[in-house]
Amino acid sequence: MKNLITILALLVFSIAKVSAQENIKVLMVLTSHDKLGETGKKTGFWIEEFATPYYFLKDKGVNITIATPKGGQAPIDPKSNDPSFQTDATKRYFEDTEAQKQIKNTVKLSSVNENKYDAVFYPGGHGPLWDLANDKHSIALLESFNRSKKPMALICHAPSALKYVKGENGNLLVKGKRVAGFSNSEEEAVKLTKVIPFLVEDMLTENGGIYEKGPDWSSFVVKEGNLITGQNPQSSKEAAELLYKMILEAGH
């Protein structure tokens, strides 16, 4: 009888745990910007930086909403479609009609209520440098998530969205905080230093952030309070894992 009670207790616990995970809601914010400066070329979000965290969280039963400044179709950076950049996650995306439908029909940032979500994840790509860095709705959303002490993860070029975000003390949010983001040396390697409006590393440093980096093109993630920042595309999985861990530690 004692064994039966133990088994039933474990079963109830497992069901409750799965149910709690399925109730987790994460907002993913992508760029709407698709022009690479004055080059005549296209940009957008980097598909791997979306697909890896998206499927990591989805496979945990997390409910994901995708938002952009303009709503509707989020532009994929054509370069990220290059065969050399494909991973299991990106290949899965291109066979997943439901995920593709979500990317085609993103919700407008202006309609998003932070209270409905447990955390937010910003994938990168060069697009955010032009729109999310200056978008008043994105700025207000991040400030709201921060006030609520909810986990926020931004990787690669997405930390550009922190440019004008302020903390509760009125200072820029990154001031005095350890942060990561696409490094100057990585930007030089892709030959876009003179094309983009600003360098992520320089901006974070100028805003008072304590910028840290690992080797180029290697996963490097920094956690400072409820803020997670990652250096490059290779950091996407580590950042997603840390975000999920923080959500569970918060009581889910």
pLDDT in tens, 222-241: 999 999 999 999 999 999 99
* DSSP letter for each residue of the chain: -HHHHHHHHHHHHHHHHHHHHHT-EEEEE-----B-TTSS-B--B-HHHHHHHHHHHHTTT-EEEEEESS-BPPPBPGGGGSGGG--HHHHHHTT-HHHHHHHHTBEEGGG--GGG-SEEEE--SSGGGTTTTT-HHHHHHHHHHHHTT--EEEETTGGGGGTT-B-TTSSBTTTTSEE--S-HHHHHHTT-TTTSSS-HHHHHHHTT-EE---STTS--EEEETTEEEESSGGGHHHHHHHHHHHHHHTT-
Average pLDDT score over the chain = 93
Note the pLDDT tens digit of each residue in 179-214.
999 999 999 999 999 999 999 999 999 999 999 999
Number of alpha carbons in the 13 Å side-chain half-sphere of residue 78 = 7
- In this prediction, residue 251 carries a pLDDT of 85
Exposure pattern of 178-209 as b/e (b: 16+ CB <10 Å)? Answer: ebbbbbeebbeeeebeebbeebbbebbbebeb
pTM of the model: 0.92
For the chain, give the percent of residues with pLDDT over 70: 91
- C-alpha to C-alpha distance for 150 and 59, rounded to whole angstroms: 21
Note the pLDDT tens digit of each residue in 118-162.
999 999 999 999 999 999 999 999 999 999 999 999 999 999 999
Q: How confident is the model at residue 63 (pLDDT cuts 50, 70, 90)?
A: very high
Q: What is the Rg, in whole angstroms, of the alpha carbon atoms belonging to the chain?
A: 18
Size (the chain), residues: 252
Domains of the chain: 25-249 (3.40.50.880)
